[in-house]
Structure 1
Amino acid sequence: MTQFVDWELAARTARALGKTGPAVTFEEAASVVSDLRRLADEAAGHVAAFTGMEARPSPVRVVDRPDWAQANIDGLQRVLSPLADKLTGNGDPGPLGRVIGTRVTAVQAGTVLAYLSGKVLGQYEIFGADSGQLLLIAPNILDTERRLGADPHDFRLWVCLHEVTHRTQFTAVPWLREHFMGEINAFAAAGDAQDEAWAERARRAMSTIADAARDPDGRTSVIDAVTTDAQREVIGRITALMTLLEGHAEYVMDGVGPEVIGSVAEIRQRFNKRRGGGNPLEKVVRKILGVDVKLRQYAEGRAFVETAVEAVGMPTFNRVWTSPDTLPTLDELADPHAWVQRVCV
């Protein structure tokens, strides 16, 4: 099996570079963990009632930042190692692969995860051996609620509503996880493992990163710089799917919110302001890592879901989960009524 990444080194790098969480006593930490587990269970009932989707039970893990990074490293290793075999024919990675080396790639991966480990509030991790697991990152949730001055109960339930919606999507829709994994395999199959192609894309990536540093608010994409035309077609489909999933979770958390969270409007206002902030250096990092793309997915996906549900109601909107053919395209995300006409009428 081809080994592009020293995964143990990636984990050590993430632990070494990751920021420590907020100062808490043992009793406070235990209380947060207990609260999040209870609220995740409560959120499941709210999400089921609001969406009409029946989720299968799956694990809930309340973790710290290193544990979150390790869970993602485990999942990435499980997914990327077979993809590396496909890209290289299960052979030698070639001169460029040897120059870059598994250790350099590991440090890069660990650095990315260290950065994200301080930003992510929760995640439904689907790359695990089983159907997936819900991760709630306790120190980040606690740190964010303090920075926002939010009511702890309200903010924690609000976060749980979002993440439990993702769990519902992947467990209530039997084909969704397999479809997503299939798209990842399609991405790898559409690649070009030739050294010259990789070298040229590496040069374009470095130029793109420099552009991002000069213009943090631009729409520079490192992904576009390092992918083939065929891969960008796959990325378009993956982007459409992720935009739907993120927008659906945003719509559900805010739709349920007013009924069970007294301060939801204030939380949303403060949270959106925080999302759009950051110093110039952080904006560059977010752009390089693709975080800005995810932020746009929240807004664009939510607008799609809201418009579609208002047009046809939630039960009919749920036809979106029928098969890959009923998922919206990128064009339909910008024109929800076109999707409604195609799928719901």
Structure 2
Amino acid sequence: MSNPPFGFGLPDPDKGRDNESSGGQSGSGADAFQQLGQMLSQLGQMLSQAGSSSGPVNYDLAKQIALQRLGSEGQLGFAAGDRTGEAAVRDSAHLAELWLDEATILPAGATVTATWTARDWIDKTLPTWQRLCDPVAKQMSNAWMQALPEEAKRAAGPLLSMVGQMGGMAFGSQLGNALAGLASEVLTSTDVGLPLGPETTSALLPKNIDKFTEGLERPKSEVLVFLAAREAAHQRLFAHVPWLRQRLLATVEEFASGITVDTSALEQLAGRVDPTNPASIEEVMSSGLLEPRRTPEQQAALGRLETLLALVEGWVDVVVADAVGERLPGAEALRETLRRRRATGGPAEQTFATLVGLELRPRRMRAASALWKLVGDRHGMQARDTLWSHPDLMPTADDLDDPIGFAERLGDNGALDDGIDPLAELERAERARRDEAERGEAEPSDDGDENGDKNDEE
């Protein structure tokens, strides 16, 4: 590598010549110890500068690298000369909410409308990325340490903790680069389909929207309203469907926690790692030999996640199309552009897929859109949106293959006729979730108390 990573420097070849010309005697052993001392000193400085993160990923370093890669551009929110600024974002969000009121029974979910820079996006979403990445890094780190031969563990001694820190830094470096790429591409806080930002906060990234608008041949104001409507529709789902946020994130965690690594490959690579050189650790991690093996349990979790992402994106696609309708002349073209963008994913999203082993793409979004459209046309908006009141009512992957059959079964189900109060159903589901959480925190002391609780619930 031409540039040693993480502050490591190469030995200065002129130092030896200077010693010899000054008459000093320095044998190869002395030179080696001197270089080792310099390396350990630099290692200590590197660890102190990279932050005190003790987990499987050094998130301090990840944030530093992401912000450094973004540079000053990551601080820009609006293009030069744009006088509309935050007012344009607020007005677009307000208009989008008014139109969405006519297209869904779910009320507005965002209480704050924010304009983010790329740096803001990293700051606000890093806690969620930590929740998503920790299971992967833990599994990889544990497999690596377990694969080391016992004699290597005894010989390494205290260096093992240092190796763990090095692994955390290597993960942090990769995550930082991936986040920097994503931060320069995302248009809203929910652009990758997951609720990454703070709850009830609708956020748009104007600088990225400017770049996205180039070449679309549509007015920026039109694009801004369309994207604000998509963001607001996501926020309505995440705010008023109490199980959705947890289910999405928990499914990602379930996928990540099931990662297994080929320990035979780890044993082969163990001899190639220099504990004092983070470059060798990063090289091993990016070599492809440590690529996780996908288990049947992971494949099932991945299927559930892809279906749920598709249902979320499909619902947003249909609702936003109904809301903007003929109000925006270029709505249909923008809709198709966003569909393709979400279905293919950008380079940064592919980088994240390589890092975590998970592609956050709704591969079946078009099928989900067709299903939601069919249900709405046959049974009405209320019946369509009431399906979100409980996960058991949601369409499955098989239903995406047979949307007509799903719509027909709904017609035979009296619980979803138009006489039901859908908002009351959503509130009932949320109360049930809170009650279940409270019961989990305080277990009954005897059978009498348990029966009493059940009677109270009834």
Same fold (TM over 0.5): yes
Alignment of structure 1 residues 184-263 onto 2, 5 Å: 184-188=252-256, 190-192=258-260, 196=263, 199=266, 226-263=293-330
TM-aligned CA distance change 1:53 to 1:276, over 3 Å: closer
Looking at structure 2, the residues matched to 291 and 230 of structure 1 have their Cα atoms a distance apart, in angstroms, of 14
Looking at structure 2, the residues matched to 62 and 301 of structure 1 have their Cα atoms a distance apart, in angstroms, of 30
CA contact (8 A) 2:116 2:206 kept: yes
Q: Residue in 1 aligned with 2:187?
A: 121
The DSSP-based 3-state class of the residue aligned with 1:42 is: helix
Q: Residue in 1 aligned with 2:416?
A: none
The DSSP-based 3-state class of the residue aligned with 1:131 is: coil
The DSSP-based 3-state class of the residue aligned with 2:189 is: strand
Higher relative CO (CA 8 A, sep ≥ 6), structure 1 or 2?
1
Structure 1 residue corresponding to 2:89, chosen from 7, 24, 36: 36
Looking at structure 1, the residues matched to 224 and 325 of structure 2 have their Cα atoms a distance apart, in angstroms, of 14
CA contact (8 A) 2:181 2:348 kept: no
Alignment of structure 1 residues 1-345 onto 2, 5 Å: 3-18=55-70, 20=73, 27-28=81-82, 31-78=84-131, 80-81=133-134, 83=135, 94=145, 98=164, 101-124=167-190, 126=195, 131-188=199-256, 190-192=258-260, 196=263, 199=266, 226-268=293-335, 288=354, 294=361, 296-345=363-412
The DSSP-based 3-state class of the residue aligned with 1:331 is: helix
More helix by share: 1
TM-aligned CA distance change 1:197 to 1:123, over 3 Å: farther
TM-aligned CA distance change 1:111 to 1:340, over 3 Å: same
CA contact (8 A) 1:319 1:344 kept: no
Flag structure 1 segments of 5+ consecutive residues without an equivalent. 210-221
Looking at structure 1, the residues matched to 296 and 91 of structure 2 have their Cα atoms a distance apart, in angstroms, of 46
Task: State percent identity of aligned pairs.
Answer: 22
Structure 2-normalised TM-score? 0.59
State the 1:24 CA deviation. 5.8
Looking at structure 2, the residues matched to 95 and 208 of structure 1 have their Cα atoms a distance apart, in angstroms, of 16
How big is each residue's C-alpha offset from its partner over 1:47-93, in whole Å with a ceiling of 9 and x where there is no partner? 23201112344332211112212222232225555x479859x9897
The DSSP-based 3-state class of the residue aligned with 2:199 is: coil
State the 1:15 CA deviation. 1.9
User: Which amino acid in 2 is paired with 1:94?
Assistant: M
- Once the two structures are overlaid, the 10-residue window that deviates more, 42-51 or 105-114, is 42-51
Looking at structure 1, the residues matched to 81 and 165 of structure 2 have their Cα atoms a distance apart, in angstroms, of 49
Instruction: Tell me the C-alpha RMSD between the 2 structures.
Output: 4.1
Q: Residue in 1 aligned with 2:31?
A: none
User: Which amino acid in 1 is paired with 2:121?
Assistant: W
TM-aligned CA distance change 1:198 to 1:13, over 3 Å: farther
User: Which amino acid in 2 is paired with 1:152?
Assistant: K
Q: For the pair shown, which has the larger CA radius of gyration, 1 or 2?
A: 2
State the 1:265 CA deviation. 3.1
How big is each residue's C-alpha offset from its partner over 1:132-153, in whole Å with a ceiling of 9 and x where there is no partner? 5322111111121233121122
Number of residues paired by the alignment? 324
Looking at structure 1, the residues matched to 173 and 104 of structure 2 have their Cα atoms a distance apart, in angstroms, of 41
Looking at structure 1, the residues matched to 120 and 264 of structure 2 have their Cα atoms a distance apart, in angstroms, of 36
- Once the two structures are overlaid, the 10-residue window that deviates more, 229-238 or 311-320, is 311-320
Looking at structure 2, the residues matched to 14 and 296 of structure 1 have their Cα atoms a distance apart, in angstroms, of 28
Looking at structure 1, the residues matched to 126 and 118 of structure 2 have their Cα atoms a distance apart, in angstroms, of 12
TM-aligned CA distance change 1:339 to 1:278, over 3 Å: closer
